[in-house]
Amino acid sequence: MRQRVSVSDEVEEYLRDLIRKLGPNQRLPSESELCAETGAGRSTIREVIRTLEKEGLLFRRQGVGTFTVVNHGPVIGGLEVLRGIPKIVRAAGQKPKIVSTTIAVINDVSDEIRSALGLGDETQQVVYARQLYLSDDVPIILGDSFVPGRLFSDPVAFCARLKDAAEKSLCLFEVLERYKIFVKYAVSDVEAVAAPEPISDLLDVPRGHPLLLLKEVHYSGQGKPVIYSRDFIETARYRCVVVRRKI
């Protein structure tokens, strides 16, 4: 079943796109103009503008109007919350894009993946997706995802749905939720690696370029592994931030 998008979400997407088009230090249309353009009420417009102000994408000039602040630096994402890369890119005021280089059902996976997904010794189908994430058409992350085929009555149909969703910049989390599969937490492992081919080509960096490799096993609320992922991150374009608390 297709998830219903709220008016607030539609207005937020509209304003994020408008911010990208306007560029830095440009005045937004007035509240009444935005109401006419979006069909939303003033309270919704004000609520979304406040949200974007808190994210640092807009600022107010008293008596003058609301203006854009466009961040052309790296996308910054925290590791504490599982949000999906497209949402993080949008929050940075940039436009996300997903290019799927491979989406297929496979039977042969490494022992590492087999163990992470609890597949046992028997041959089982696995959905494999290699996807390139871009921010304003610049590649930032190459992700490999592996999902147990047993989660779906028709893994091939799931592949088709995942490919279609990627063209709309919807991530794997969002597609799984349509199958009532909800990721609740992940166990992560982080290491530095040198970019091998063809990963270097896809990320448009030299071979051997330093990357951050984030390996994660994602679990459902019942503690069942539902995704094993490997994200190769170009840290000059996407910075991972971790909040650490003293105990």
At residue 21, what are phi and psi to the nearest 5 degrees?
-70, -35
d(CA 123, CA 67): 57
65-86-6-186 Cα dihedral, nearest 10 degrees: -130
All CATH 3.40.1410.10 domain ranges in the chain, comma separated: 75-241
Structure confidence at residue 19 (pLDDT): 87
Four-way CATH pick for 7-68: 3.30.420.40, 1.10.10.10, 3.30.450.20, 2.40.10.10: 1.10.10.10
247 residues of the chain, pLDDT tens digit each: 444 568 998 999 899 889 888 877 789 999 999 999 999 999 999 999 988 887 777 887 777 889 887 555 788 887 888 889 998 898 887 889 999 999 999 999 999 999 999 998 888 999 999 999 999 888 999 999 999 999 999 999 999 999 999 999 999 999 999 999 999 999 999 999 999 999 999 999 999 999 999 999 999 999 999 999 999 999 989 988 787 778 8
Cis ω on the peptide bond leading into residue 198 (within 30° of 0)? yes
**Mean pLDDT taken over the chain:** 90
Four-way CATH pick for 75-241: 3.10.20.30, 3.40.50.300, 3.40.1410.10, 3.40.50.920: 3.40.1410.10
All CATH 1.10.10.10 domain ranges in the chain, comma separated: 7-68
